[in-house]
């Protein structure tokens, strides 16, 4: 996106709205891999792959920016991250990080961002 970051959007917002808020896609973005009509949820991160970048089908949303404030921020894989790595994500503290790991151990890897909505804490 043109302006990566964390944005506040209305409850009924969709991925296309987040993309617009972030200044639109760069010429390298592969929007064909996204469902622009998907509804957003609180604490949801949207990863936009580059053209030619392959996203494993088992984890289409597993890599998300830790702060979303610049392109050089490290990515965190929510399916493999430890508690310290998860806590680098905006809004994730020790309790939520532990809950994510417990959920992952009990239910398997997250397939979509919506899976994280099932995590309590």
Give first-to-last CA distance, the chain, whole Å: 30
Domain that holds residue 50: 15-118
Which residue has tokens 């984890």? 59
Has residue 53 been placed in a domain? Answer: yes
CA pair distance 78, 43, nearest whole angstrom:
13
| Token duo for residue 105 | 């151990």
pLDDT at 53: 76
pLDDT at 58: 40
Has residue 88 been placed in a domain? Answer: yes
Residues linked to residue 63 through DSSP beta bridges, in sequence order: 77
Low-confidence ranges of the chain (pLDDT < 70): 54-75, 113, 121
pLDDT at 62: 39
pLDDT at 70: 40
pLDDT at 74: 58
CB 81 within 8 A of CB 109: no
Has residue 6 been placed in a domain? Answer: no
Quick one: CA torsion of 52, 88, 40, 38, rounded to 10 degrees?
A: 20
pLDDT at 119: 83
Has residue 1 been placed in a domain? Answer: no
Has residue 77 been placed in a domain? Answer: yes
Look at residues 35, 49, 44, 62 and name the one whose alpha carbon lies nearest to residue 6. 44
Domains: count for the chain: 1
pLDDT at 72: 45
């Amino acid at each position: 996106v043109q302006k990566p970051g964390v944005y506040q959007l209305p409850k009924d917002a969709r991925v296309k709205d987040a993309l617009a808020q972030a200044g639109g896609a760069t010429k390298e973005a592969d929007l064909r891999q996204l469902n622009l009509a998907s509804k957003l949820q609180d604490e949801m991160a949207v990863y936009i792959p580059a053209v030619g970048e392959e996203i494993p089908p088992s984890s289409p949303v597993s890599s998300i920016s830790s702060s979303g404030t610049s392109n050089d921020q490290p990515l965190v894989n929510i399916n493999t991250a430890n508690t310290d790595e998860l806590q680098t994500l905006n809004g994730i503290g020790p309790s939520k990080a532990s809950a994510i790991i417990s959920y992952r151990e009990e239910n398997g890897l997250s397939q979509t961002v919506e899976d994280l909505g099932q995590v309590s804490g």
